Each structure stands twice: as structure tokens, then as C-alpha cells.
Amino acid sequence: MKLPELLFGVATSDHQAEAYNADFPDFRDEWEKKQGQTLRGKATDFWNRYPEDIGLARDLGCKIFRFSISWSRVEPRSGEFDVSALDHYRKVIQAVREAGMLPLVTLHHFTWPVHIEQRGGMTAKDFPHWYVNYAKAVVEVIGDQVPYWVTFNEPNLLVYGYVKPWWQPRYLVPPGALSGETLSDQLDRAALLIRNIFLAHRLVRQTIQSKNPLAKVGANPFVLGLPGPLQFAIDLLATRTRSGKAFGRRNRKMAEQPILALTAVDLIISRFTPTRERAISVAFSHPYAEGFERLVLRKDSGFAKMGDLAGRIIGYVRGSIAVRTIAKFAPSSHPRPFSNHREGLLSLQAGAIDGFVADDVAILQTGLSSDLVIGSDILRRSRYAVGMAKGNPDLLSLVNAAVEGMESPPVAGKSHGAILERILRRGYLRVGVTCDPDEVMSHETTAKEVELAKEVGRRIFGRDGCVEFRKVELDQRISLLTSWSKILEPILKTMSVVGTVLNSNWWHLGMAGKLPEFLCPKQCVGLQDYVGLDYYWGVDSFELGRMHQLIDASMSHFDGAPVDPPGLSRVLNRFHRWFPKLEIMIIENGCIESADNFTRAEYLLAHVREVTRARATGIPVRAYIYWSITSNREWGLPFGPASDFGLFHIDLDNDSELKRVMTPSAQLYKKIIREEGRAQRRSSGVQEFQEL
């Protein structure tokens, strides 16, 4: 049977490409602010420059163009729909069609309005109805013009807004856990989310096809290229998870790792400032206080600020982030580490160093001699948080509740995770601090830290006197919380993923009628008109040692991502067996500038070859859509080569004009599309394409 033409295309999304608009903030905007992530700002200004990007796609030879609609723009307030926003998206559709391409519209691309979250978010009972009301407004305006729809982008990743894998510093997507919420509560919400996604998809598909019966509706789960037997085992376990209790039990190890919590202390409360690097090793609470880094000088030194100390010796305490401050403000100076603040200040007083950088809390706590003075400039504002071992979600949630002053009953006498149970059996909480808690506190922050530790103890045991304080040095903080991490982390990651429902192909299992009904109701089974998927990374059977890298790549750490083009073929074959009558749409495939010794161009060529080979064997791959048409803001990540998937490069941080620059991979894609089109017309299959 001759397959229809392969549709080559490109993609973009609203939050990653449209500029931030304070009148229409989505919940992702609010969440990223709280997370301290890179905000989108103008992004690529796709809202205004969509004709330009559509023209770039047309010139590449694309036949399908994917973009998403901002729910927050369409429904800025509950039940109020913005006519001008809907008219804008109708114009985008017209531009795509006039460029000779088919539009593929995504209705939910990891974002939703603030008012939805305020009413309970995606796990609320009424969410499917809220979602379909939004979809009705969109479909009424553009429904007759759109042949392909995605209801939920990468629905299987949305569960990671409710459950945080223990190795992740932050939740992958919104909304994140509520303070005081136990891991059991989070897993219950994840199960509700899966069910709501299926129910909402069903309602929206009905809405779309009532307007245009020929429209094809599906979703695009994020799929990893796992070895076949391993993926089979993971999926099989999902099909045999028959109750919410079993769902919670089998997914718990994704967030909790009791062995990692076998540390000398349970918590460290010692002016611990979360940084991106520290968060790789340690879990942090919400901030409880703020401090300011300042420069200490001798009064008779003649120096006044950091810029005066070029080429001079500046002290700091080993283990603190002051060394970064020194490198930033006095890059030609000579940093010298000290074991503690007292040693550093005495050295400054003796003239062995020319300046000393520390936070004001520590300086005041240590005390200044009369011949030293604190500079007036604030070098850095630091936010302090409680540190603990990774894989400790219930304790983290309890600490967050204490930080925010939320009411919560004592833990004692209730069922909790293994780590809290271990602390309860021990009979006391072990807390590392940098001060002596029996001494009179010279600064309110140190007093607050001791009181916070006591409050956490009260919340665990229901009484006072259950905290054991241990004095620690700043450079001990991370090592005291990471006893087992370096040795066991790669192994534990793999063990955490294998055997959890969250990492199964639960979207397609549901569509195939293989999931239990509490996750996918019977009325939702089979309601997709194509098999959608996103494929980026994989490992083969001989690379199981790289599984931890594959897991990291699925959580947006792309630098060490393992590339396995044949993994795409394995995925295509598996889904064709499951759904032999449906066409397959590769909704996303793409690469950062380079990964696993593949340049973006090499990656592109290798994966399109797998697609043409699959089609040659009769697998009905209908579309290959590259992510993405341009550089974009990749979900709060710092912009750079490790987060840039664009065929057309935009210097998002430095170019105010946001100029689109064609890359070698775009030139190759244009050639691939041209040559593959010729090959299809000559019906000579893969052989013609292999010559590229």
C-alpha cells in the first residue's frame, strides 16, 4: 500500500515564543517567578512576528506548522473570552494556510490561566468542563480551518507538576506541591490528573468534531527510546495497577529514597543559600529569611569598595557563596578561604588580607573589633533555606509548612513515609546549625533558625524538647547531607523509574484500553484519531549504564542526553502494533546545538532516516515535525547552546531586534525536505534519501 506524502513541519508554542503580557499572565508565569527561573520576557515575539516565522517555514518547504493557543489570552477571566485574541489566532491560521501549510493547533501547552489554578487547577472535579468551555470558544472561531489538533502537549509530563522525582531540584512543571501536603496526597492528585486529562480530551474531541467531522484529534506524549523488554515491563506494571492504593505504592519511590536520608543530620538550618549547583546535591525548603553580603575592611586601609581591591587578597569562609561574589566584583583579586568567620576577621585585623566578604548575619554574630568597618554597599542579597537530603518529600513539606506558619497537626500517630517514621522511632530530630543554640543570639536570623528547628520538632512529635542540635561548619553542610548520593544516585534513578506507572506509556495504554478504569474511564478508550508522540532521546540494550543520563534528559537536563536514532524506530514499531489502523504523527523531534557527539544537523539527518525507513516497511508515519522553528525560552532554563533547539537562531539575551539567523541544520532540513519530496514522487523510498 502506498503511503500518503510525509508532511515535514516545524513547531512553536505560546509561552515559549509569545512575549509576556501583564494583562494576560498564565499560571506558568506566576510559578516561574516563585521558582526564580528565567522569565520569558519578549521571548521571540511570535505574537507580532508570526508572519515572519511562518514565511521561514514555508521557505524550508514545510507542509505543516504547529503552534499553540494561550488559554490565558483567550479566557483572561473565568467565563470571559477575549474576541481580539481569538481573532489574532484566526489570522495566524490564515497565514499558515496561505503559506501552503496545514495548521496543527495545540490547545494546552503546559500553561493555563491563573483563575483555573485558583479554583483547584487541573485536578479539580470540574476541570474537564472548564477546559471544554475554553475549547468551545476557540473551535467556534477556527474549528473549520484546522485539520489537526493536540489537546494536551506531553500529557505524561504534566504529572511531574504533582510529584517531584527525588533527584530533581524543582518540579518539572507547575503547580508543585502545596506546603504541608504529604507525598501520599501528591500521588493521589497525580492519579486525579491522569483521569481528568482523559475526560477533558474526550469532551474537547467531541467539540472539535461537531464543528469539523474530518478534524483529527490526539495528544503527543513524551516518549523515551528504551530497550523493548524494559519498556514492556514498565507498561505491564501500569496495566496491573488496579487501585489508587497500588498506584501510590508503586509510584512512591519516584519521590522518596530512604537510603539517601541516612545522614548525620536530618536538617541543616545555617544561613544556607540555595544555588543551582547546590540544589543538584541537596533539597531546599522555601526561604525563611534574607541576608546581605558585604565587604569588611580595616578602617585605615584606604579602601572603600570591592573595586578598590584589584590584585589584593580577599578572604571568605570555605563553603560559602562569597567566593562567587569576589569573582564577580573583583575578578583580578586573590580569594583566600578560611575555616570560619572569626579566623577571617582576625586575619583581616592582622593585615594578612585586605578585605573579607561575608553575610551581615555572620559578621554581627562573630563581632567586629573597633579597627574594622563594614562597607555600605550590598554585594549580594541572599535568601536562606533549610537544607536536607534528597528524596525526603514528607519532611520537606512539613518544613515548608513551618516556614510559612501554616497550621498542621503533629506527625506522631499518623502514617507517613519511611524517613519520618525513622525519625519518630529515633525520638528526636537532628539539626545542624552554625551557632551554639544555648548562647544568647546576637542577631534575629540566628534566633529564628533555632526557633524554626524547634517548631519542626514540635510538628513531628507534638511536644517540645525533641531536637538535638549539632554545630557544623559552612563547608560541612553539603557533605553532611550527601552521604550516599554520589555512590548510589545513578543506580537509584534507574530503579526509581523502572516499575512506576508515571513512567509508562500511560496515554497510549489508556487509548488502547489497557489501563485500569480509575485512571482511564471506559468512555475515553480509543478516542484519538492519530498516534502522536514526541521523541528526543534513547538508549539501546547495550547502554543500560546510561539510563540515569536518559532520565536526566527527560527532566530537561539536555547536556548529557543520550542520542539513539534507532530508538525512534522501536517506538514507531510498537505504536503501530498497538494501533495498526491509525496514522502516526511525530509531533516533536529535535536537538540542542550538540548532544552525545551529534551536531543538530547530524541528529536531524539520522532521525529522518529512521522515519523514511519505517515508512518503507509500511508504518504509516504521516508527519515529522521539528522542534523548533526558532530559538525560544525553554521552560525557565538559562538560554544557551544547552537549551537552544532552533533551526533559526535568535540571540534572546542580547539582540533587541530578535533577528532570525539560519543555521546549518535549517539548510540541511530544507535539503532533506526537497530531496525526500523528489524521492516520494519517484516512489524510490529510502535509497534516494540515503545519498544526502
Domain boundaries, the chain: 7-255+487-690, 258-287+383-483, 293-374
One-character DSSP codes across 460-495: HHSSSS-EEEEE--GGGHHHHT-TTHHHHHHHHHHH
Model confidence at 418: pLDDT above 90: no
Name residue 10's beta-bridge partners. 65, 626
Which helix (H) or strand (E) segment holds residue 313: the answer is strand 313-317
293-374 placed in CATH 3.40.50.720 = no
SS3 content of the chain, % helix, strand, coil (to 5): 45, 15, 40
Model confidence at 409: pLDDT above 70: no
What is the rounded distance in angstroms from the CA atom of residue 437 to the CA atom of residue 439? 5
Q: What is the pLDDT of residue 169?
A: 87
**Tens-place pLDDT, residues 500-510:** 888 899 999 99
Q: What angle do CA 27, 206, 579 make, to 5 degrees?
A: 95
Contact 384, 173 (CB under 8 A): no
Contact 152, 201 (CB under 8 A): yes
Model confidence at 311: pLDDT above 50: yes
Question: Rounded mean pLDDT of 418-436?
Answer: 90
Q: What is the pLDDT of residue 222?
A: 97
Q: What is the pLDDT of residue 413?
A: 57
Q: What is the pLDDT of residue 490?
A: 81
The three state secondary structure string of 380-432 is EEEEEEEEECCCCHHHHHHHHHHHCCCCCCCCCCCCCCHHHHHHHHHCCEEEE
432: left (phi over 0), alpha (psi -120 to 50) or beta: beta
Number of alpha carbons in the 13 Å side-chain half-sphere of residue 672: 27
3-state SS class at 204: helix
Instruction: Give the mean pLDDT of the chain.
Output: 92
Q: What is the pLDDT of residue 687?
A: 45
One-character DSSP codes across 27-57: HHHHHHHHHTPPP-TTTT-HHHHHHHHHHHH
- With a pLDDT cut of 70, the percent of the chain lying above it is 96
Contact 6, 615 (CB under 8 A): yes
**Tens-place pLDDT, residues 651-670:** 999 999 999 999 999 999 99
Indicate the DSSP class of residue 546: G
- N-terminal to C-terminal alpha carbon distance within the chain: 26
Model confidence at 1: pLDDT above 90: no
Q: What is the pLDDT of residue 37?
A: 80
**Tens-place pLDDT, residues 364-374:** 878 889 999 99
Question: Rounded mean pLDDT of 519-543?
Answer: 96
**Tens-place pLDDT, residues 461-517:** 999 999 999 999 888 999 999 877 667 888 888 888 877 888 899 999 999 999 999
Place of cell 546576637: 442
Model confidence at 164: pLDDT above 80: yes
Q: What is the pLDDT of residue 445?
A: 73
Question: Rounded mean pLDDT of 238-260?
Answer: 92
Name residue 199's beta-bridge partners. none
Q: What is the pLDDT of residue 443?
A: 62
Q: What is the pLDDT of residue 177?
A: 83
What is the rounded distance in angstroms from the CA atom of residue 380 to the CA atom of residue 357? 10
Q: What is the pLDDT of residue 178?
A: 82
What is the rounded distance in angstroms from the CA atom of residue 200 to the CA atom of residue 135? 10
**Tens-place pLDDT, residues 188-244:** 999 999 999 999 999 999 999 999 999 999 999 999 999 989 999 999 999 999 999
**Tens-place pLDDT, residues 67-90:** 999 999 999 999 999 999 999 999
**Tens-place pLDDT, residues 624-637:** 999 999 999 999 88
**Tens-place pLDDT, residues 333-363:** 999 999 999 999 999 999 999 999 999 888 8
What is the rounded distance in angstroms from the CA atom of residue 161 to the CA atom of residue 28? 11
- Using only C-alpha atoms, the chain has a radius of gyration, in whole angstroms, of 27
Q: Which of 272-286, 410-424, 453-467 has the lowest mean pLDDT?
A: 410-424
Question: Rounded mean pLDDT of 322-334?
Answer: 94
Q: What is the pLDDT of residue 544?
A: 82
Question: Rounded mean pLDDT of 293-318?
Answer: 94
Residue 541's pLDDT band (cuts 50, 70, 90): confident
For the record, the C-alpha cell of 140 comes out as 467556534
Which helix (H) or strand (E) segment holds residue 153: the answer is strand 148-153
**Closest residue by Cα to residue 434 from 513, 317, 304:** 317
Q: Which of 137-141, 152-156, 237-241, 589-593 has the lowest mean pLDDT?
A: 237-241
What is the rounded distance in angstroms from the CA atom of residue 527 to the CA atom of residue 215? 13
The CATH code that applies to domain 7-255+487-690 is 3.20.20.80
**Tens-place pLDDT, residues 599-618:** 999 999 999 999 999 999 99
Model confidence at 410: pLDDT above 80: no
Q: What is the pLDDT of residue 692?
A: 44
Distances 587 to 131, 142, 228 between C-alpha atoms, Å: 22, 20, 22
